[in-house]
A and B are shown apart, each in its own frame.
Chain A
Amino acid sequence: MTVHTGSGSPVVQPQQFQTLPMRLIAHAEQHDRALSQTELKGLLAFFTSGLKRSQIAETIAQHSTEIVTAGAERIFFGGTAIAYLDPPANREHLPGYAPFPKPVEAAKERLKVQSTIRSNYLKEAVRFVQVQFEDREPLPNGFRPIPIWRYGEVRMRRSMRDLGWFLRYVTYAIVAGDSSIVTVNVRGLRGVIPEDVTEATVIAIQDMKWKALSYFKTDSEAQELIRQEFDQLVAEYIVQKPTVRVRQGVSNEQQGLQLPESYALSATIRQKFVMKPNLSVTEQNSVVKAAYRQVFERDITHEYGVALSELESRWKEGQLSTKEFIRQLGKSRSYRKLFYEPFTISRIVELSVRHFLGRGIYSIGEFQSYFEIITNKGFAALVDALIDSTEYADYFGEETVPYLRGLGQEAQECRNWGAQHELFKFSASVHKAPQFLTVFGHYQQTLPNQHPYGVGHDLLETQFGAVFPKPEWKHLGQVGEFNPNHRRILIDTNNNPLEHWAKIPGANHLKVLKLNPIVHSQATVNGSIAVNAVIEGVYQQLFGRQIYAEQRSHLAEAKLKSGEIAVKELVRQVAKSKVFRQIYWEELYVTKAIEAIHRRILGRPTQTRQEIAQYYDTCARRGFYALIDQLVDSHEYTQAFGQDTVPYERSITPQGYQMRVQGRAGSLPQLHESAGNPVNGSRVADGTWMKAIVQNHSMNGKANVDRPQIELLIVPEVEIVQPESMEV
């Protein structure tokens, strides 16, 4: 199946680490209960230790250089390791800058940079030995310190940077009261940092710990906090590179996917509930609640009283497996009442896939197979099919309560996101319309007729730099996947496009002029007529009217007449003339100037902000003449007009059409009464006005009407070119 559109994606902001309060709140929220006594006690301890935690962070930050030095000089010798630690970026004049008072010695030491000369090798060795005999942990047997000169500057810099970062993350973790920030940033590093320095890194971290602890010799509580985070750091560092989480593939439509461990780690941790007979009563109750929350989406025991108590007790006693319990819930009267009776069949399928498999529907094929089951055999059969599926067995087995397999739980496909995220929300059960089915439907539709801002990339009417105008209509919640080169066409092929173009007001100078240089060079009477027509065409295109004789570029005209320059060159000269500059450059601000000149020279409006943006640079650095050169020399110009064709208007937008209709109301065919006037733009967006035009004017209802490429014969020298095949 070809996917034409996405279904929109939410702004996803994964939480990259947690703090103790946030972790506890997330946990309580998941259990659907208030913070428990133990949690409150934990929080209280966290808050009371707060002052201490911030002081530790402050002290470590203050002495960061010394601490990193302590770690480095244990594992490196033959130079000043700290010289390779890049100083932090100077942020002196930026907001929020408040420097820590720097210890003086460290600053001095940095001055003796790069003294990796062999002559003081002996001194270095003595120093190295001295360091080893301070009150640190002994080096492990067989550890060989790394000589700095052999390790190389690049690797030295990296090592020192990493040591600095480790220390920084430790201070964050101490303040946050949760080591997840260390875990997220450090786990898996072992696979990135070369294996031969693993041991050295661990030793350096241990020594940084030793140095950091030395600032809190009398304070056992602070020591405990520091030790804890450093130990966590080492533990995370030495684990092997974590494996990716794999989502099993079932078929071509449901392929296997991988989720890197770091993504899983940075998501909110979700507990999985498993029922076992030997659990305590409170634990069993929390598992029961989890099952209700999964299947009924909320805790229904309050609401309906206890209807399923017998089943529940059999489950707790172990007579019923979790799988069977979930099955019974699915077939219960309450489920039927809540999720079967109020919904259409399509929505029932979507909701039950959420409840029993913990995910959204992947594809239309999958939907159809479930739909078939429910229509042929009824709802109970659908529940059986879902619970007996291999997927259910793979993920939940006999004992686990199904859970939502959203972001962070497993890899997500890059489709159906909008619907999938809606489905996982608390409010999913109040949406009556089938959402996945709608999305699948959109995949197969032609591109939506929507306003470009926010959804597509249709050509825009000149916006005068207002890149984000106030939206006057509501966008549909789906995105058209098409780029600036796509054109949307409402098919009405019976009519001749040329005719329609003729009906567009202001485009009634239908002549596309091309000077035939060969014939032209033989100067004839006819020839001079042709050349004059071409010259007038150039002025008409560039100014929209004929200009006064004294404003014309006579020199360039003469050169064209003598065959010295081509039409393209004439366009360039006229565009660089004083009058053009005055009209389109001097009076306008830059965006408007670019938009206007672009339309004049290339014959179409600018398409996107990106397109304009590339001209900003030219305008700012090199000015007006360079902009003209850039446009005239562009590939698009050459392709569309070549050397000898006078530029012509190639495309018209709905808004542009509208403006012209309004501007010449008397002289032009009016829209049919019922078609109305799309003044406010809403009818432009939903495409109805275009349909009206198709009906009333038998105009080819393209959203952007591209001009047919046809040359009109006016004099013998002007060539006739076959029209290009129309895109339909």
Chain B
Amino acid sequence: MSIVTQSIAAADREARYLSLGELQAIKDFFATGQHRLQIAMILTEKESYIVDHASLRFWERCRVTPSNSGIPRFRASCMRDQAWYLRLVTYAIVADDVEPIRVIGTKGARTMYDSLGVPIQNVIECMRCLKEVSIDLLSIEDGQSVAPYFDYLIQGLQS
């Protein structure tokens, strides 16, 4: 739930108008909105670049992994998943909340990878590469604001 949803739900539960404190938080959310959109747009535009470079970096670090075994299907799946997770991160940046990552992305992901026979540690390493490549593209402050979403994703996959 984004801050807007949260405040409205809280206010509605108590049958009152949004309080000044809540409105202030919402104003902050709006004020940073444009900037967050820009970050999301950069990541979306550079998606293929990020995924390509992250994959290379990943295969350098993790030589023995299904996607590096020369089977094109595994390779394609790996890159598809990276693009998919990157997209979830952009959703989360736009919403300023980790809920999209949690609900769509990490719930049950571990079980899924386990049963597909993909070592979860490799997936996590792959996400780290994705994070590093993405952050390299952004300015230092932007990188700092984006990093927590990747960290949340990585933690979610670990648990």
Q: Which residues of A pack against B, CB within 8 Å?
A: 16-17, 19, 21-22, 24-25, 28-29, 33-35, 40, 43-44, 46-51, 53-54, 57-58, 60-61, 64, 88-89, 91, 96-98, 100, 165, 168, 171-172, 175-176, 181, 299, 302-304, 425-427, 430-432
Contact = CB atoms under 8 A, between A and B. Distances in A.
B90 A43 contact: no
A34 B8 contact: no
B34 A47 contact: yes
Q: Which are the 4 A-B pairs with shortest beta-carbon distances?
A: A50-B30, A47-B33, A61-B17, A427-B112
B17 A168 contact: yes
Interface of B: 2, 4-5, 7-12, 14-23, 26-27, 29-31, 33-34, 37, 40-41, 44, 47, 73, 76-77, 80, 87, 90-91, 94-95, 100, 104, 108-109, 111-112, 115-116
A33 B83 CA distance: 10
11 contacts: A33-B87, A50-B30, A57-B17, A89-B14, A96-B21, A171-B18, A176-B4, A176-B5, A181-B12, A304-B73, A426-B108
Contacts of A427: 108-109, 111-112, 115
A171 B8 CA distance: 10
A430 B27 contact: no
Contacts of B31: 50-51
Contact of A430 (B11, B40, B100, B111): B111
B23 A57 contact: yes
A19 B4 contact: yes
Contact of B104 (A29, A40, A44, A89): A29
A165 B16 CA distance: 9
A176 B108 contact: no
B112 A430 contact: yes
B115 to A, nearest CB: 4
A635 B108 CA distance: 49
Contacts of A299: 80
Given A171-B17, A427-B112, A302 B33 contact: no
Nearest to B88: A29
A35 B4 contact: no
A34 B87 contact: yes
A386 B73 CA distance: 30
A165 B94 contact: no
Given A44-B37, A175-B4, A431-B115, A22 B95 contact: yes
Contacts of B10: 96
Contacts of A60: 17
Given A21-B2, A34-B87, A431-B115, A43 B8 contact: no
Contacts of B22: 96
Given A43-B37, A98-B21, A430-B116, 15 more contacts: A17-B8, A19-B8, A43-B94, A44-B33, A47-B33, A50-B27, A53-B30, A57-B23, A61-B18, A98-B19, A168-B15, A171-B18, A172-B8, A175-B4, A430-B112
A166 B21 CA distance: 22
Nearest to B3: A19
A51 B30 CA distance: 7
A165 B15 contact: yes
Given A29-B91, A34-B90, A50-B31, A22 B20 contact: no
B40 A100 contact: no
Given A100-B20, A302-B76, A304-B73, A40 B41 contact: yes
A110 to B, nearest CB: 18
A48 B77 CA distance: 38
Contacts of A54: 23, 26-27, 30
Contacts of B8: 17, 19, 172, 175-176, 181
Contacts of A48: 30, 33-34
A38 B131 CA distance: 27
A3 to B, nearest CB: 27
Given A19-B4, A25-B91, A303-B76, A47 B19 contact: no
B83 to A, nearest CB: 9
A61 to B, nearest CB: 4
Given A54-B27, A425-B108, A430-B111, A25 B94 contact: yes
A409 to B, nearest CB: 18
A96 B20 CA distance: 9
A78 B72 CA distance: 81
A165 B12 CA distance: 10
B30 A47 contact: yes
A91 B73 contact: no
Contact of A100 (B17, B44, B100, B115): B17
Contact of A172 (B12, B100, B111): B12
Contacts of B115: 427, 430-432
B146 to A, nearest CB: 15
A302 B82 CA distance: 13
A568 to B, nearest CB: 50
A25 B37 contact: no
B37 A19 contact: no
Contact of B33 (A50, A61, A168, A175): A50
B80 A50 contact: no
A39 to B, nearest CB: 9
Nearest to A48: B34
Given A44-B34, A96-B21, A172-B18, A50 B26 contact: yes
B112 A426 contact: yes
Nearest to A168: B17
A176 B21 CA distance: 16
Contact of B5 (A22, A97, A431, A432): A22
Contacts of B20: 58, 98, 100
* Interface core residue of A24, A64, A98 (most chain B CB under 10 Å): A98
A181 B30 CA distance: 19
Nearest to A97: B19
A381 B6 CA distance: 50
A24 B40 CA distance: 14
A103 to B, nearest CB: 14
A304 B27 CA distance: 47
Contacts of B91: 25, 28-29, 35
Given A35-B40, A181-B8, A25 B95 contact: yes
B73 A35 contact: no
A91 B16 contact: yes
B156 to A, nearest CB: 14
Contacts of B104: 29
* Interface core residue of A57, A91, A98, A427 (most chain B CB under 10 Å): A427
Contacts of B21: 96, 98
Contacts of B18: 57-58, 61, 171-172, 175
A65 to B, nearest CB: 11
